[in-house]
Structure 1
Amino acid sequence: MDVSEAVDQLFSGVVPERIDELRVIWGKEEDRVRLIDTPRFLLQQMWGTIQVSELALRQLWLAGYAAWRAVDAYNMPLALFPLKDFDPEAWLLSPSHAEKEAVFHRLFKMIVEIGEHGGVEGFKWPAEAPFPTEGLKISDPEMKATFDLVCMAGAYVFAHEIAHGLYKPVGNSPDDKIEEERACDAWALSLMLDQADAYAVANGWLPHDVRGKRILGIVIAQLTIVVLTPREVWDRSVDHPSVRERLRSVLLAASEPTPNWFWITVTSMLLAFTRMTGVKIDRAPSSESLRDFAFEICDQLKSE
């Protein structure tokens, strides 16, 4: 299958209410997306074409399955223990939690390890994540739910690159480039969320469920950026806003009401990923609100 057609199908599954608009904006020609054979993470808009490496797609995939294992590990202790007694090291005294966290650790490390390996060939794929192939069928409900979130993460990052092709730069300074990145993040977020409520109502679903799931997918995309961005440029690189700012803008899009599962799921993902990147989350949250805690974790994503 042509890669551009595959991305069209991705958008049709994730944001079907926007697909006609996307066809007008982005067209239907081949080579709008090109799969580039390179042993590094590559996802960029170049000369009117989105260039992406298979490695980048696999790292995003693994990040999605690692994120769900983070939820599996952290959801229960966050639900059981008051945040004023927050002590993730003590949670490891539970054999069940320790086992779940170990599974998360293995998947998380593979996001980086497959990058160091330079590709899929010869890389030992983890049993905890299905291998992405065309026509993949997933029967396990949790694996399927995670697949849906990975698709949402993928739609968001491709939407961001489409936005680069539409953006009219005002200059070429570092500040101009950072402003372009902000605008493309905002455009992709808008594509994913602006018509989600109407789409949900038209199909008999709860709007906050549809919106919440899409935001979870976008959070996975932003956490992938955190993992793959060297910590020394987390605060600001020459051409991107801080990882903290980019993630925070997604969290702010989670307008109330949110599903009762939303903030504990987001907090589980953020807590697990930030701790694995070396950020010390070792102080009690300022309140018992998981929403507040998610923002506090986000605010600690700083360069050393």
Structure 2
Amino acid sequence: MDVSDAVDQLFSGVLPERIDELLELWGQQEDRVRLLDTPRFLLQQKWGTIQVSELALRQLWLAGYAAWRAIDAYNLPLTLFPLKEFDPEAWSLSPTHAAKEAAFDRLFDKIIEIGEHGRVEGFAWPAEAPFPQDGLKLSNPEMKGTFDLVCMAGAYVFAHEIRHSLFERGDVTPADEMDEERACDAWALSLMLDQAEQYAVANGWPPEIVRSKRILGIIIAQLTVTTLTPRELWDHSTDHPPVSERLRSVLAAATEPTPYWFWITVTSMLLAFARRTGVKIDQASVSQSFRDFAFHICDQLKSRRS
């Protein structure tokens, strides 16, 4: 199924300041993006077309709402307790916190479960997340805010694939496959952020808010990739950079000023996904700020054999 127009609409909503430029580069012809009925995560550029599975879109959606549950679970204890007293096992003794962690865990597990199920039909949708088709109808501000971030995550992953397409069409392509992946990440990040400040100012919004929200969306995209990548390949892939490197490049794009809530929100997301993927985060005392701690968590996302 050709979904090129739907992806154009996605970019128009997320990156209205770049849509004309993007369509000039990428074109407006049919079959730029095709939705394929494939029983696995599929998002790739091949033969001039971006191919995506419904399963991949659902997993990205679930990861976004899992990220929201992560923020709900970890923002409060991170606020209440100094980083030098970082002790997530003690936090879990609180029934309230344990319940919030369990809500995150259920959504995280659904990301994996739908992949193992292999299709959208017959999948038991979790109560903690709305259905994707209800996105534009959401009235709950937290659910709606998460929907916006998921859209930003989607725009980023499609932008990454568009850069592959432009390489295929004749741009000078890096000789190494991993360098091409890095170039696509960098191009997508640039597309999302380079004109965000001018767009915000033109519309009377604080630039740091617009930029920070887009970065959160990109982090959700990278956390989805991390979740779906077998841990033994996190830093031993032959064709993709280490997951920690890819996340670190996004964190580094968060230049100051940032909103007061930004780094604690990022830390909450990283902390929850790291815990559920089996990464034990320690030595929080070396971190002097939530920004430092976010980078510290990122750097510990390593393959088990490292």
Calculate the TM-score normalised by the size of structure 2. 0.96
Tell me the equivalent position of 2:131.
131
1:135 CA displacement: 7.1
Give the unaligned 5+ runs of structure 1.
Answer: none
1:170 CA displacement: 4.3
Aligned counterparts, 1:56-205, within 5 A = 56-133=56-133, 136-167=136-167, 168-171=172-175, 176-205=176-205
Distance 2:99 2:117 in 1: 26
Q: Could you say what the CA RMSD is over the residues aligned between the two structures, in angstroms? A: 1.2
Distance 2:104 2:161 in 1: 29
Amino acid at match of 1:187: W
Distance 1:30 1:131 in 2: 27
1:238 CA displacement: 1.1
Tell me the equivalent position of 2:260.
260
1:139 CA displacement: 0.9
1:166 CA displacement: 1.2
C-alpha deviations, 1:100-156, integer Å up to 9, x for none?
111000000100010000021111001111111277410111000000000000000
Tell me the equivalent position of 1:289.
289
Distance 2:119 2:159 in 1: 24
In structure 2, the residue corresponding to 1:16 is in which secondary structure? coil
Tell me the equivalent position of 2:39.
39
1:68 CA displacement: 0.5
Tell me the equivalent position of 2:240.
240
1:161 CA displacement: 0.1
Distance 1:135 1:105 in 2: 22
Amino acid at match of 1:229: T
Identity percentage of aligned residues: 78
Distance 1:257 1:136 in 2: 31
Alpha-carbon contact 1:212-1:254 (below 8 Å) kept: yes
Alpha-carbon contact 2:174-2:180 (below 8 Å) kept: no
Distance 2:134 2:4 in 1: 14
1:93 CA displacement: 1.6
Alpha-carbon contact 1:178-1:239 (below 8 Å) kept: yes
Q: 1:228 to 1:157 in 2, by over 3 A?
A: same
Alpha-carbon contact 1:82-1:288 (below 8 Å) kept: no
Distance 1:2 1:179 in 2: 30
Aligned counterparts, 1:206-285, within 5 A = 206-285=206-285
Amino acid at match of 1:84: K
Distance 1:17 1:109 in 2: 36
Amino acid at match of 2:261: W
Alpha-carbon contact 2:161-2:184 (below 8 Å) kept: yes
Alpha-carbon contact 2:284-2:293 (below 8 Å) kept: no
Alpha-carbon contact 2:159-2:188 (below 8 Å) kept: yes
Distance 1:37 1:91 in 2: 43
In structure 1, the residue corresponding to 2:51 is in which secondary structure? strand
Amino acid at match of 1:182: R
Amino acid at match of 1:153: A
Alpha-carbon contact 2:270-2:294 (below 8 Å) kept: yes
Q: 1:46 to 1:81 in 2, by over 3 A?
A: same
Tell me the equivalent position of 2:20.
20
In structure 2, the residue corresponding to 1:123 is in which secondary structure? coil
Distance 1:22 1:285 in 2: 44
Q: 1:91 to 1:298 in 2, by over 3 A?
A: same
Amino acid at match of 2:160: H
Distance 1:276 1:135 in 2: 26
In structure 1, the residue corresponding to 2:62 is in which secondary structure? helix
Alpha-carbon contact 1:244-1:301 (below 8 Å) kept: yes
